[in-house]
Every structure is written in C-alpha cells, then in structure tokens.
Amino acid sequence: MRFAAVALLALCLAPGAAAAQMYPDIHPIPRTTDPAKLRETAVGREIQERFRIGFDAEGRGDWAAARAEFDRIVELHPSEPAGSSAYYDRGLAQFNLNDSAGAAASFAAAIRLDPDFLAARTNLVTVDLQRGDVGGARKAAEELIARAPQSARARYVSGLAALKAGDAPAAARDFGALLERSPGYAVAHYDLALAEVDLGRLDDAERDLRAALRLAPKYALARFALGTVLARTGKRDEARAAFDEAALASHDPALVNLATSMRDALSH
C-alpha cells in the first residue's frame, strides 16, 4: 500500500508525465460560458484560419481560392490590422483574376481602414495605371506622396502617372526626387529624360539618357530614346549609331525592328 502511494506520487510529479497531458496553446480552451465571448472567440479563430489558408493559396497562385477566403474574412469585419490586410489580400486576388476595378475598390477600402497602409496605397496607384485610369492614379499618387514623400516607390508610380497624363513638370519633379536618393537607378534617369524631352530640354534629356546607359549599358529602351534625342538635335551619325546599338542590345523583336528602321531611315 505504501509502495503504491509512492509510485502514484512519483507519476504525478514526473515532468514527462505532466507534459504528455498538455495541449498546444494555439486553440486555448475558452474559459467562459458567455455566448457573446464564445462567438467572438470562434470568429477570431475563423479569421486566423482563413488568413492562413488564403495566404497559402496566394503563395501557390490559386487566386480563386484565396479570394473566397478573403471575401469571407471581410464579411466578418475583423479588427485592425486584420481588416485592412484582408481587403489588401482580396485586392491582390481580384487583380490576378482580372478584376481590376474590384481590386482598386479593395485597396481603397484597406486605405479607409488604415490611412497609413502604404503598400495598399502604392498598389492602388499601380492598379489604376494598369487599367488606364490615369486620373484615379494621379489622385491616389498625390495622397501617397503627401504621406510618404521620401518613398522611392511612391515617387516612381507618381512620376509614371504624371508622364501618362502629359504633366511633364510633375513627372520631372517625381523622378528628380527619386534620383536624389537613388542616383544609381537607371530607369529613373530614363523616365526623367522623357519628361525633359516633353519640356523641350533636349540637352538635359541627352545627359540623363547617357547616365542611364552608363549605369545599364544594355538598356535598349534608353539607347533607342537617346537615338531620337540625338536625331532631333541634328546629330544624325550619333543617332544612327544609337539606333544600331539599341537593335543589338534588345531582345524585343518590336524594338529591334523599330530601331533598325530608324537607323536605316537616317541613312537616306
């Protein structure tokens, strides 16, 4: 009898035995019988699980499955930051399902919930640019720049929207600001040069295109643009050489054909 009692006590105190009785804490046992709190706990678990499933679906490119999960999360009205994140992820799924208008609406909803959500703001500008809503893109970009004037991505998408709207001064400001912090970014030199061409500042455009090409010698699009600027400033031989080099550097058949045609046209 005494032996049995000691054995029972030892079993109770053994750490291994105690650990075997424990449950993972990812689903804590509700310590309430209040219906409202039980429902809140259940909804919280559903949101957490649907986020995990939806995020995994996005990772493997199953956008329809992802959208279904985020649609449901949005219906559950989660608190922040889950609410704006759900709208953001739903926007990504919608965009990849070719529903650009829906995607823009979802990113806008994410921003309403959290105005500091810059990833949602930049994605909204990008979606508006993709669907050709230049006015919408410019408005969203203006609000983005107001909150994050130092953001490289904000300056880039804002500059693109300005270029597409034909607002060369605004585009030059955006790409100029981007280059202040990233002077080694060849693409910004190219876009700044396009704005400078529109402003009639051909010498500045040539300088920026040459800067882009120093940074990225195989940048065929910049090489082609340089050819057009050189031709417009009367440097036909240099322009011809630039078009020739653009044709050699490009892997895009359309650009190769165009550059070759320009080169040949300048030979006459």
Partner 1 sequence: MVTLFAVVVLTVAGAGLARASVDELAGLRLTPSAIPSLLGPIDGHGRAGWECAPEQAARATEAAHAELPSPDR
Count of Cβ atoms closer than 10 Å to residue 268 Cβ: 4
Per CB under 8 A, 133 contacts partner 1: no
CB-nearer residue toward partner 1: 21 or 164: 164
Which window, 2-10, 13-21, 28-36, 187-195, contacts partner 1 (CB under 8 A)?
187-195
Question: How far is residue 175's CA from residue 103's CA, in Å, rounded to a whole number?
Answer: 27
Among 108, 109, 123, 245, binds partner 1 (CB under 8 A): 123
Q: Tokens in use for 199?
A: 């402003």
Which window, 1-9, 15-23, 30-38, 178-186, contacts partner 1 (CB under 8 A)?
178-186
Closest Cα partner for 156 from 133, 132, 189? 189
Per CB under 8 A, 266 contacts partner 1: yes
Residue labelled with tokens 């876009």: 191
Q: Tokens in use for 58?
A: 């996005």
Site string for partner 1, 81-120 (x = CB under 8 A): xx--x--xx--x--x---------------------xxx-
Site for partner 1 in 224-243 (CB under 8 A): 224-225, 228, 231-232, 234
Site for partner 1 in 34-73 (CB under 8 A): 47-48, 51-52, 55, 58-59, 66
Contact 91, 63 (CB under 8 A): no
Per CB under 8 A, 138 contacts partner 1: no
Helix (H) or strand (E) holding 58: helix 35-59
Contact 236, 263 (CB under 8 A): no
